[in-house]
């Protein structure tokens, strides 16, 4: 297995982890007062959009040639960092 395939598997696993986090946050949002529920829902929708973008980047990486994937990797790493920070921020706000 080459490093690109390993990288893709690692990123897909992280996406699944984030999906579980978003599901947890969605469940928590269901139990909050109406006045903050809209804010929570907006944040969850933002997380889902970031997750969709990250998933799209993985698909681009899978289609990229062996030499091009290194160039794509830096963009994916930035998207991953942003997604991780957004999840952490949402998690702390939902406590």
Domain that holds residue 69: 3-93
pLDDT tens for 32-55 read 787 788 888 888 899 899 889 888
pTM comes to 0.76
Label residue 61 by pLDDT band (50, 70, 90): confident
Count of structural domains, the chain: 1
| Among 20, 18, 27, 74, residue whose Cα is nearest residue 51 | 18
Measured between alpha carbons, how far is 15 from 43 in angstroms, rounded to an integer?
17
């Amino acid at each position: 297995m080459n490093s690109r395939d390993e990288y893709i598997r690692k990123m897909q696993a992280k996406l699944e982890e984030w999906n579980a986090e978003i599901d947890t946050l969605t469940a928590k949002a269901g139990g909050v007062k109406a006045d903050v529920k809209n804010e929570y829902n907006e944040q969850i929708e933002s997380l889902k959009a970031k997750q969709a973008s990250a998933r799209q980047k993985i698909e681009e990486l899978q289609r990229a040639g062996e030499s091009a994937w290194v160039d794509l990797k830096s963009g994916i790493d930035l998207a991953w960092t942003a997604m991780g920070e957004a999840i952490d921020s949402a998690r702390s706000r939902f406590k």
